[in-house]
Amino acid sequence: MLNKKDVKQIEKSGHTVESVAKQLETFAKGIPYSAIVTTASIGNGIEAISEEKQQQLIHLFEAEKQQMELVKFVPASGAATRMFKFLYQFLKEYDPDEESLNKYIKKGNHKALDVFISNVKDFAFVNEVRSKIRELYPDYKTSKKGKRAHYFVKAMLQPKGLGYRNLPKGLIPFHKYKKYYTTAFEEQLYEAAFYASAKDNAYLHFTFSEAHVSKFKEEFEAVKSRLTKSTKTNFHISYSFQKKETDTIAVTEENQPFRDTNGNLIFRPSGHGALLENLNEVNSDIVFIKNIDNVIIRERVEEVAQYKKMLAGKLIWLQEKAFDFLEKLSSDTISEEEINDIRSFLWNHLNCKELPQTKEKLYEKLNRPLRVCGVVKNTGAPGGGPFWVKNNEGETTLQIVETAQIDMEDSHQKAIVNEATHFNPVDLVCGIRNFKGEKFDLKQYSDPDTGFISLKSQDGKPLKALELPGLWNGAMAKWNSVFVEVPLLTFNPVKTVNDLLQPEHRSNN
């Protein structure tokens, strides 16, 4: 399947022939579906923490954090393309000289477009777009409604306008306040001051696309003094790019290497699972992980921050117990009673249903990265959720599983998915150092058999792409995992531009 020219290209691009051969073998074999046993629910893998206990955990975190290194890790390289999907369609299909806007909306049942145009003055970017319209389209004010809408969307999305279609989601104006607007990037910084900071310093790590890093740096310089003044916090930003060596080879529908018009192999970014490499380079006591588009207006940030602090307190409480047990397991003498206490802790607090029998296996089971995941009640949003899963060794563990990993043609598996009570909003607090203070090599705790094969296209031709195990799915499969219910208030993603019209994204200040 590979020729001498391919081998040279593979080696030049930082891959190895062995790794590419293995990827080709994976395409040929396929990736087995996850075998979900049952959905996780309250009392069966998900903990609902009482108000009193929540306050205790918050106090624990507040007391301990001054001696700890904290980092907020934000995957931020995603483009805003999907946010504006229905607006691209509008530009492509609608001719304002041929039909009225109302006729177009009714004929095609374009409800999202109708909502967007009816509420356009409420978006944070409205003044920026209007300014660009004045520059580009002097006949805007005298034009009919359809042409004005067309001008507005062109000025917003197209390269000669503001070029939002080519911007990362983190740099799109999200929230409008009386004196300024804020991007998702700025809001992530702002809220970090309320939970991911210690001694008036907040450290954040963003994964950008290399093409956008200069824009993010410009934005940071523009908002830094405003943020520091309003939060009394100094912000320190580090960033990284998805590594080229994590790209995976693309194949045809027949599982042959997909080639461009010059006969070169095509390598593609391998999904958010590639960010395990980036996370593995972060070294701190606690890492908060949150997606770039999950933000809320500033009036409600303190409320949301309480739940982040509660999750972090839960992590610290679990770690202190686990570290104490690991110290005992490291000593020459440990009593049978202490062994039983460790087994009880694994069963009751770390969701371990197959208890290790030997001292060595207990140590191995405890001495792993730890994550506490906030989960919200299922609202039918697409994405993953918490399930009990049987792995290749026959062990049943608690995992976050994406729908794409489940055989929805299997009626039993589909029935389990339909019973799911909770959803994964990507709200993680992670402990990535062991009881000796050494950082874990996170790559050792990934399950390579939990990637995805997805269908894509290039130059109009279909191809198959291989995605690495998802960062909070298979990439963390061998971590110790705890799931805690948090309210829907903590989950405010912006998947489409109209989501910015929700109350959680509209400020009165």
Give pLDDT tens digits for 405-457: 999 999 999 999 999 999 999 999 999 999 999 999 999 999 988 888 988 88
More confident residue, 448 or 351: 351
pLDDT score at 14:
87
- Run of H or E including 190: helix 184-195
- Record the pTM: 0.94
Q: 348: which 2 tokens?
A: 């009751």
Q: SS3 of 393, please?
A: coil
Q: Which of 283, 338, 288 is nearest to 315 (CA)?
A: 288
- Tens of pLDDT along 256-289? 999 998 999 999 988 888 999 999 999 999 999 9
What does the DSSP assignment read for 327-341? HHHHSS---HHHHHH
- Percent of the chain past pLDDT 90, that is, above it, reads 86
- Domain extents in the chain: 4-78+246-488, 87-166
- The whole-angstrom separation of Cα 371 and Cα 288 is 10
Please, what is the Cα angle at 474 between 339 and 352, to 5 degrees?
20
